[in-house]
């Protein structure tokens, strides 16, 4: 009998599916576990080996949990709205729903061929009207609570995709999807007030079991900073420029104020003879994207307005400048310039000849800005205070005089939720000339996406839906008068914000999901996904979830208890896999050659789970050899009744290691331990008994389910291995009685001796000093100190 994965894998996959092995039960006496992977976007390229890595890891967790006696929910679905299907439709004239259907079929086949234990009865699809009915319903609730609103603001506009991009979607000044440089354009957009949840999105992270770097990412993105808003009155005017700073302790060092070109007071402030120069400058900045403006480190520019304002703390006159490095939407669009204590301000002052006034002691301001905290000088009554003190005291002073106040600022901005595209959920709003924007009544949801002939966005920037008159023209739900449908659609994230909730009750037509079912399953116990989603998707879905919690739809305030990430699988050349580079590894090929178990085990073995690792075809072969060794070992020793203590100990030690490594997502070292055990077993075949083999197979089952199931049967079992209990190790058998004690002299290893594990320091010292090698190193030098680390080493210092 040879190990032939092709013969056994399909058989067991069918067996598990036929017998509904992975069906999750709503409400059970067993404790629940909700194990979640990010649902894939079914692209035309098919499943990526990177998907396999995350899915296999969570499949291992899910299978182990079931064996541990949990009622496990491990679902899968499709995040199927999005641009690629639409762009394909534009190119080939095939309706996106057709393309998506075909891609899903392929993905489903590929995922099934991996032997993943998904509960397919709960499969969802964001493009199904029965699903997006509830995506639209959520939008209506947001609208009713004033969290969805329209605003005419400069948005990031991709001239190629003809689509407005959220601030967060702009990568390097370019469209995240197509790479075209983004330009600024004003358009009426639907916005979601995520900023209202900024504090909770930061503060609630405390109670969650997310990797630290994920928490940091979220916190950094929201970018909360406490500071002071200071009023600078414009000279000879009653107008006030409000400036935000985190360093009010440097207020006496202000030698200019810089405002954004879009600042509301700009027109009033620019005066002859600087009028023309300033206007030209403003005009030029309009042609730059926000990215360009903030990018140009060397070319930090500005222009004097001709106006002055008054520093409230000392009544000094301060010049007002315009600089396009100041962004209108952050911090009120005005900054105070303190050249002595801010790097950027220092450069700015050097370039334009502004005064550099030292107010914090500790640096050499003739050479560079001193940006650290220190003691104040040249600061009137505040001189002598530390920066920390002065920040408090100066702010209090300003507040008392009504010239400033403590404020909080966030980097996070409200979320632009409109897309001018076809392949997305229609925004369920009707515009009435009398009533304004009116939500579509809930009983009329979903607003179905109509069939169109032309998918191309219109050149005016409107969605293709705008051209379907019979769809657009409707009666106002409120007054019955003539009205027009909103033609924008929702972004990709709309459907993926809440999909994990739908898995709890995927067929419900009356509610997003039954509350009791949500209460049973949520929060998700372990959520794994790619590093590319740890900021946006995580933040957005937490926001929506919190909102739904506030209106009583969800039972908890956070959706995910534990979140991990899996590193990207790179091509063999260390670069990202891409069609154009021709370095893509197709999981189908690997399965065809080696089988799913080899692919699974290889992806777990290739390196640390959270790090990016390059594909190595030769290592894949090594993993196959390992599985074949397991196979041959079981076939050869299955009737052996031997019960050797040494071997028993080894397999219990393996048991401990595997159990612990899985929980810490250290799959690579778990496999290594397996290999060691199998190598040992192979060299000691006569000592290997059936009991040992069975325990080994139970431990291997989550990693390589097919071969384990087959060998379980081969060893004479009728029941599936996945109906067995996860093995517990015997602590007595895991203990080591003897250890190799390392003997160091002056911190260098000089000898090793085998001693009993609980040897005392005195005994260890006596034994160590007897060793010939040790004596040679000590000679007749005096022993100053002996350090003894139980079970590890003894260090003799001479």
Closest to 382 measured CA to CA, from 372, 370, 371, 397: 397
Q: Is 439 in the site for RNA (CB under 7 A)?
A: no
557 versus 621: smaller Cβ distance to RNA: 621
Q: Site residues for RNA, window 288-307 (CB under 7 A)?
A: 290-291, 293-297, 299-301
Q: Is 608 in the site for RNA (CB under 7 A)?
A: yes
Q: How far is the CB of 249 from RNA (least distance, A)?
A: 11
Q: How far is the CB of 92 from RNA (least distance, A)?
A: 30
Q: Which stretch binds RNA (CB under 7 A): 329-337, 477-485, 542-550, 554-562?
A: 329-337
Q: Site residues for RNA, window 482-521 (CB under 7 A)?
A: none
Binds RNA (CB under 7 A): choice among 12, 499, 594, 726? 594
Residue that is written with structure tokens 């966005």 in the block: 457
Q: How far is the CB of 692 from RNA (least distance, A)?
A: 18
Q: Is 320 in the site for RNA (CB under 7 A)?
A: no
Strands 334-337 and 404-409, bridge-based pairing: unpaired
Q: How far is the CB of 34 from RNA (least distance, A)?
A: 27
Binds RNA (CB under 7 A): choice among 247, 502, 542, 563? 247
Residue that is written with structure tokens 């600078």 in the block: 232
Cα–Cα distance between 301 and 237 in angstroms, integer?
26
Q: Is 554 in the site for RNA (CB under 7 A)?
A: no
CB neighbours of residue 607 within 10 Å: 18
Q: Is 637 in the site for RNA (CB under 7 A)?
A: no
Cα–Cα distance between 403 and 242 in angstroms, integer?
10
Q: Is 591 in the site for RNA (CB under 7 A)?
A: no
131 versus 244: smaller Cβ distance to RNA: 244
Cα–Cα distance between 403 and 128 in angstroms, integer?
56
Q: 3-state secondary structure string, 339-367?
A: HHHCHHHHHHHHHHCCCCCCCEECCCCCC
Q: Site residues for RNA, window 128-157 (CB under 7 A)?
A: none
218 versus 489: smaller Cβ distance to RNA: 218
Which residues have CB under 8 Å from 283's CB, separation 6+?
none
Q: Is 7 in the site for RNA (CB under 7 A)?
A: no
Q: Is 616 in the site for RNA (CB under 7 A)?
A: yes
Q: Is 738 in the site for RNA (CB under 7 A)?
A: no
Binds RNA (CB under 7 A): choice among 57, 62, 623, 692? 623
Backbone angles phi, psi at 374, to 5 degrees: -165, -155
Residue that is written with structure tokens 């998506």 in the block: 100
Cα–Cα distance between 130 and 134 in angstroms, integer?
8
Per the CB < 8 A criterion, the answer to whether 512 and 502 are in contact is yes
Residue count, binding to RNA (CB under 7 A): 95
Q: How far is the CB of 666 from RNA (least distance, A)?
A: 6
Show the site string, 659-678: x = touches RNA by CB under 7 A, - = not.
-------x-xx-xx--xx--
β-sheet bridge partners, residue 227: 407
Binds RNA (CB under 7 A): choice among 275, 408, 749, 757? 749
Q: How far is the CB of 472 from RNA (least distance, A)?
A: 35
> At 283, is the secondary structure helix, strand, or coil?
helix
Binds RNA (CB under 7 A): choice among 128, 184, 458, 621? 621
104 versus 647: smaller Cβ distance to RNA: 647
Q: Site residues for RNA, window 180-239 (CB under 7 A)?
A: 212-213, 216-217, 220-221, 223, 225, 227
Cα(first)–Cα(last) distance of the chain, in Å?
63
Closest to 788 measured CA to CA, from 779, 776, 797, 780: 797
Binds RNA (CB under 7 A): choice among 157, 274, 455, 626? 626
Q: Is 750 in the site for RNA (CB under 7 A)?
A: yes
Rg of the chain (C-alpha set): 33
Q: Where are the alpha helices (DSSP H) in 337-454?
A: 343-352, 387-401
Closest to 117 measured CA to CA, from 23, 33, 50: 23
Q: Is 533 in the site for RNA (CB under 7 A)?
A: no
Q: Left if phi > 0, otherwise alpha if psi is -120 to 50, otherwise beta: which for 716?
A: left
Q: Is 682 in the site for RNA (CB under 7 A)?
A: yes
Binds RNA (CB under 7 A): choice among 409, 431, 484, 695? 409
**318 sits in which H/E element:** strand 317-322
Q: Is 244 in the site for RNA (CB under 7 A)?
A: yes
Q: Is 629 in the site for RNA (CB under 7 A)?
A: yes
Binds RNA (CB under 7 A): choice among 120, 304, 330, 515? 330
Q: How far is the CB of 11 from RNA (least distance, A)?
A: 16
447 versus 565: smaller Cβ distance to RNA: 565
Closest to 242 measured CA to CA, from 404, 407, 413: 404
Q: Is 583 in the site for RNA (CB under 7 A)?
A: no
Q: Where are the beta strands (DSSP E) in 673-784?
A: 738-745, 748-756
């Amino acid at each position: 009998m040879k190990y032939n994965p092709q013969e056994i894998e399909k058989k067991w996959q069918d067996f598990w599916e036929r017998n509904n092995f992975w069906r999750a039960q709503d409400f059970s006496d067993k404790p629940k576990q909700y194990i979640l992977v990010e649902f894939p976007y079914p692209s035309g390229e098919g499943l990526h080996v990177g998907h396999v890595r995350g899915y296999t890891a969570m499949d291992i967790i899910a299978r182990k949990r079931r064996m541990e006696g949990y009622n496990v929910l491990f679902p899968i679905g499709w995040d199927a709205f999005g641009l690629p299907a639409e762009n394909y439709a534009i190119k080939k004239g095939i309706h996106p729903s057709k393309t998506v259907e075909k891609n899903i079929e392929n993905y489903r086949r590929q995922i099934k061929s991996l032997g993943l234990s998904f509960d397919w009865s709960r499969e969802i699809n964001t493009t199904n009207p029965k699903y997006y009915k509830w995506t639209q319903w959520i939008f209506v609730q947001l609208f009713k609570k004033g969290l969805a609103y329209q605003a005419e603001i400069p948005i990031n506009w991709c001239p190629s995709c003809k689509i407005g991009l959220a601030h967060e979607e702009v990568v390097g000044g370019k469209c995240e999807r197509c790479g075209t440089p983004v330009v600024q354009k004003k358009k009426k957009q639907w916005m979601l007030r995520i900023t209202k949840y900024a504090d909770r999105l930061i503060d609630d992270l405390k109670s969650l079991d997310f990797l630290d770097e994920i928490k940091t990412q979220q916190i950094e993105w929201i970018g909360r900073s406490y500071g002071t808003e200071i009023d600078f009155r414009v000279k000879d005017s009653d107008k006030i420029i409000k400036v935000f700073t985190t360093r009010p302790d440097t207020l006496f060092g202000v030698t200019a104020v810089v405002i954004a070109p879009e600042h509301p007071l700009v027109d009033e402030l620019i005066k002859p003879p600087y009028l023309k120069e300033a206007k030209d400058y403003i005009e030029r900045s309009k042609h730059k994207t926000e990215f360009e403006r903030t990018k140009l480190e060397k070319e930090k520019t500005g222009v004097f307005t001709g106006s002055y304002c008054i520093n409230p703390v000392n009544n000094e006159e301060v010049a007002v400048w315009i600089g396009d490095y100041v962004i209108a939407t952050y911090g009120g669009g005005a900054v105070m310039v303190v050249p002595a204590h801010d790097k950027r301000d220092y450069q700015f002052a050097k370039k334009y000849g502004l005064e550099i006034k030292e107010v914090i002691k500790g640096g050499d301001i003739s050479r560079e800005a001193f940006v650290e905290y220190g003691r104040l000088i040249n600061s009137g009554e505040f001189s002598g205070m530390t920066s920390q003190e002065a920040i408090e005291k100066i702010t209090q002073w300003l507040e008392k005089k009504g010239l400033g106040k403590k404020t909080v600022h966030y980097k996070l901005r409200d979320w632009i939720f409109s897309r001018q595209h076809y392949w997305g959920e229609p925004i369920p709003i009707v515009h009435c000339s009398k009533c304004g924007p009116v939500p579509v009544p809930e009983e009329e949801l979903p607003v179905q996406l109509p069939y169109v002939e032309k998918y191309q966005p219109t050149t005016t920037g409107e969605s293709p839906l705008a051209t379907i008159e019979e769809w657009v023209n409707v009666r106002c739900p409120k007054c019955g008068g003539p009205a027009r449908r909103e033609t924008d659609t929702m972004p990709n994230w709309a459907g993926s914000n809440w999909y994990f909730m739908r898995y709890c009750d995927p067929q419900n037509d009356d509610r997003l999901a039954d509350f009791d079912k949500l209460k049973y399953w949520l929060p998700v116990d372990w959520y794994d996904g790619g590093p590319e989603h740890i900021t946006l998707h995580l933040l957005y879905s937490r926001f929506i979830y919190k909102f739904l919690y506030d209106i009583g739809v969800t039972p908890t305030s956070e959706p995910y208890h534990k979140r991990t990430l899996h590193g990207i699988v790179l091509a063999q050349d260390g670069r990202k896999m891409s069609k154009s580079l021709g370095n893509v590894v197709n999981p189908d090929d690997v399965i065809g050659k080696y089988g799913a178990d080899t692919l699974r085990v290889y992806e777990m073995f290739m390196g640390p789970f959270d790090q990016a690792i390059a594909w190595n075809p030769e290592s894949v072969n090594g993993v196959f050899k390992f599985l074949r060794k397991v196979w041959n070992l079981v076939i050869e020793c299955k009737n052996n009744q031997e019960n050797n203590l040494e071997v028993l100990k080894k397999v219990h030690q393996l048991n401990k290691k595997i159990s612990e490594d899985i929980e810490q997502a250290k799959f690579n070292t778990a496999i290594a331990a397996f290999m060691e055990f199998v190598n040992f077993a192979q060299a000691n075949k006569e000592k290997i008994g059936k009991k040992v083999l069975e325990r080994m197979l139970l431990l291997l089952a989550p990693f390589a389910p097919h071969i384990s199931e087959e060998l379980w049967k081969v060893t004479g079992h009728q029941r599936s291995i996945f109906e067995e209990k996860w093995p517990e190790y015997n602590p007595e058998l895991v203990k080591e009685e003897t250890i190799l004690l390392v003997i160091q002299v002056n911190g260098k290893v000089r000898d090793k001796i085998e001693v009993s594990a609980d040897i005392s320091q005195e005994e260890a010292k006596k034994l160590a000093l007897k060793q010939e090698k040790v004596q040679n190193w000590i000679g007749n030098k005096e022993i100053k100190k002996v350090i003894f680390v139980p079970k590890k080493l003894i260090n003799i210092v001479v």
